[in-house]
Structure formats: C-alpha cells, structure tokens
Chain A
Amino acid sequence: AQTVTQSQPEMSVQEAETVTLSCTYDTSENNYYLFWYKQPPSRQMILVIRQEAYKQQNATENRFSVNFQKAAKSFSLKISDSQLGDTAMYFCAFMKPNSGNTPLVFGKGTRLSVIA
C-alpha cells in the first residue's frame, strides 16, 4: 500500500518570503501522480499543483513549484512571494494510475501560516 508522509505539522512564513513544504511517499509503482492540495479555513479542497511521475520536469503554477525527486521519493512544494491568502492546510497526495479512477492517498497535512 502506498503511504504519504508530511513531516512538518506546522510551518510559518513571513509575507513575501519563500517557504518549502516537504513530502515523501512510498510506492512500488513506476508510474503515478502526485498532487498538492490546499485547504483554507473555508474547508474547500483546492488543487494547487500536479506532477506526473514520468515527467522529469518539475511542475510550476505561478508562485507554486515542486521539487520532484523520483529516486528519493520526495515531492516538496515551494511557495514564492507568500501571501496572506496562502494561509491554509496543505496536503500532499498520491494516486496510482488506473485510468484516473483510483482514490487519492493523502499525507497528514502541514498547517501553513503566513504572517504579515
């Protein structure tokens, strides 16, 4: 079974600074998908960024980028120019490829606070 580990329960960052959230995972699969989801206090789950394991290039979405290290099974999220609206729980998630019908396996989350 796949497992996802987020070793930082809580983090804080000053507004406009950069922060990196860590995630490691365990799988015997060669192809899979990795995700970062954001859950603000509104509790809505919002997809931040996605990485396909077969792609070597790290995914980027505006201020959000990942450092995907397949051999090390590491998938960290970097948030640049942090904004107050980035304050949220962040979940790393894994999905086995099966035509997209498989569920997400989540880490326990990192609570990020952006401080003015």
Chain B
Amino acid sequence: DTAVSQTPKYLVTQMGNDKSIKCEQNLGHDTMYWYKQDSKKFLKIMFSYNNKELIINETVPNRFSPKSPDKAHLNLHINSLELGDSAVYFCASSQHGSYEQYFGPGTRLTVT
C-alpha cells in the first residue's frame, strides 16, 4: 500500500491554464506539506497543514491555493499557470510527536 500518493505524477499544460494536484496519505498523520523542487533541485516548503488548518504559508504567489478537505488529503490548485511554475511538487506527511516526514512520489509539472 502506498503511504503518500500524488496524482497525477506528470502534468503538462499551457500557460494561463488552471490545474490541481492531489495528495492522499493513509498513515493517519495529522500534518501535511507541499514542497516545491525547482529545476536546480532545490526543495522549499510552500504550505503546511495541521488537522486541516493552514499553519505555514511561505512566500508563494496567491495563484497557489492549498485545500485540505480532511486530514488525509491535501490538494494544490494553481491558477493562471506561468512558465516559472514548472517544477516537481512533493507532498509529505508527518505525525505530531514524530519527526519523520514521509514523501509522496512527486508531480512533475511542465508549463509550456
């Protein structure tokens, strides 16, 4: 069973479109994250949710909107996609009191 899953794994779209990436974890964790890995492989936190509430929102354009319908899901919606949004987006989860984060397989987004 996959612990943290993301859909889709690959996404190719044109500038100006709106797209969503979905994340689900079956570990019973209470905290979920979105990280962005740019073309130089640098990983940086975007958002963090704890028990469906946003607790970290780094300096990210407001075209990016996370949504957590329940503790097991954290989706990322991106409006008006730009070329610079091309990256790999990783979802991760962790449990209060534990310091290990479990990562999903990543979604490679390519904006043309």
| Residues 73-106 of A contacting B (Cβ, < 8 Å) | 89, 91, 95, 97, 99-106
Which applies to chain B's interface (DSSP): helix, strand, loop or mixed?
strand
Chain B residue numbers with a CB within 8 Å of A100 are 31, 94-99
Number of A residues whose C-beta is below 8 Å from B?
A: 22
Chain A residue numbers with a CB within 8 Å of B108 are 43
Range of interface residues on chain B? Answer: 20 to 34
Contact of A33 among B30, B56, B96, B99 (CB under 8 A): B99
| Residues 54-112 of B contacting A (Cβ, < 8 Å) | 55-56, 88, 90, 92, 94-101, 103, 105-106, 108
Contact of A101 among B35, B40, B44, B96 (CB under 8 A): B96
A47-B97 in contact (CB<8A): no
Number of A-B contacts (CB under 8 A): 59
A44-B98 in contact (CB<8A): no
Question: Any chain B CB within 8 A of the CB of A115?
Answer: no
Nearest A residue to B95, CB-CB: A100
For the complex formed, measure the closest distance between the CB of A28 and the CB atoms of chain B, giving whole angstroms: 19
Which applies to chain A's interface (DSSP): helix, strand, loop or mixed?
loop
Which A residues have a C-beta under 8 Å from some C-beta of B? Answer: 33, 39, 42-45, 47, 50, 89, 91, 95, 97, 99-106, 108-109
CA distance A89 to B96 in the complex (A): 28
B44-A106 in contact (CB<8A): yes
CA distance A45 to B33 in the complex (A): 14
Nearest B residue to A42, CB-CB: B105
CA distance A35 to B40 in the complex (A): 20
For the complex formed, measure the closest distance between the CB of B51 and the CB atoms of chain A, giving whole angstroms: 10
Chain B residue numbers with a CB within 8 Å of A43 are 88, 105-106, 108
Known A100-B97, A101-B31, A101-B96; 11 more pairs at CB < 8 Å: A39-B41, A44-B106, A45-B92, A47-B100, A50-B100, A89-B41, A99-B97, A100-B98, A101-B48, A104-B35, A106-B42
